[in-house]
Amino acid sequence: MKTIGVLTSGGDAPGMNAAIRAVVRSAIYHECKVYGILRGYEGLVNAKLKEMNLSSVADIIHRGGTILQTARCEDFKTEAGRKKALNVLEVFNIDGVIVIGGDGSMTGAVKLNEMGIPAIGIPGTIDNDLAYTDYTIGFDTAINTVVEAISKIRDTSSSHGRVNIVEVMGRHCGDIALYCGLAGGAESIVIPEIPHNIDEICRKIIRGKNRGKLHSLILLAEGAGNAMELAKIIEEKTSMETRATILGHIQRGGSPTATDRILASKLGARAVELLLGGKSNRAVGIKCNAIVDVDMKEALTIEKTLDMDTYNLASILSI
């Protein structure tokens, strides 16, 4: 293995830069040449690459976003697009590729392996929706951003005696809502994995009000419903003023937390070690605090399940 390529793909996540830095610096340490592929698979199909050196990744460990930029590339999903990518890899003499992204990006990396290009996947997504790893890069930063926002919403919510619904990202996965609900002391957590009972949510709000609670907070995952509609129903049923806040893309930005930087650094270094050790089709991750690597194709078939202990605990503590 003499030359490797690295790309970030799909939705961006804080900590992707720290992962790029780890890949580039580890590869150079092991005397490899590294190309940064721009805008995910788009750069691979259209030959948009730049050679990276130690300075290309200086001063980025603390920055959100990705210096390589990211994109969604429909071309790479086609046979013809992937042939173009293969040709580009040959022209640049790239022997292996490290893909930083979510499940879609890793599916693309599996295709690279099937075309004979060793590829390793690093989980970079705020959603934490990859079952083979306990955490993905960006999740910790995102939940800290949400918890900070919740604290601010709480202040104004209690001044006015309102119910507040905070809608967070996560696509089909409720992890952001669940963890932030627990950390933010939410009365109810509405997530796609568990059917919700609107009457029970309202009863809890009323119980809290009768006990002298100044406000109520509901964490809603984007995949579980619409914040505006839920606010309307709750207002009708409880007669309490109810507001909805959709946090949106603020959750994808910002300086990565120390936890995300450390995870990204470890995963980036492991990905390079695997490629240099002749491995392919591996996805790196963290399980029970240890860095692991697993078969990438198999990893993508594991169904993500909800952490029921955390869910039950949040329910008990918000009684």
Interface characters, 11-40, with ligand ADP (x: CB under 6 A): x----------------------------x
Q: Which stretch binds ligand ADP (CB under 6 A): 101-109, 160-168, 182-190, 265-273?
A: 101-109
> How far apart are the C-alpha atoms of 103 and 124, rounded to whole Å?
9
Q: Among 4-12, 18-26, 50-58, 293-301, which window interacts with ligand ADP (CB under 6 A)? A: 4-12
138 binds ligand ADP (CB under 6 A): no
Q: How far apart are CA 174 and CA 167, in angstroms?
A: 11
**Pair of tokens at residue 107:** 């599916």
Instruction: Among 111, 172, 297, 304, indicate the residue that binds ligand ADP (CB under 6 A).
Output: 111
Residues numbered 57-86 forming contacts with ligand ADP, rule: CB under 6 A: 72-73, 76-77
**Nearest residue to ligand ADP on Cβ basis:** 104
β-strand 282-287 against 119-123: which pairing, if any?
Answer: parallel
- Helix axis angle for 139-160 and 258-276, nearest 10°, is 160
Query: Is residue 127 among the annotated active site residues?
Result: yes
Q: How many residues belong to the site for ligand ADP (CB under 6 A)?
A: 18
Phi, psi for residue 171 in degrees, rounded to 5: 50, -120
Is 160 annotated as a binding-site member? no
Choice from 10, 15, 192, 256 touching ligand ADP (CB under 6 A): 10
Which residues on adjacent β-strands are paired with residue 217?
164
Q: How many CA atoms, within 13 angstroms, populate the side-chain half-sphere of residue 52?
A: 31
CA 93/CA 85 separation, integer angstroms? 12
Per CB under 6 A, does 41 bind ligand ADP? yes
- 133 is annotated as contributing to ligand binding: no
**What length does the chain have?**
319
Residues that bind ligand ADP (CB under 6 A): 9-11, 40-41, 72-73, 76-77, 101-105, 107-108, 111, 125
Question: Any idea which residues carry the catalytic annotation?
Answer: 127
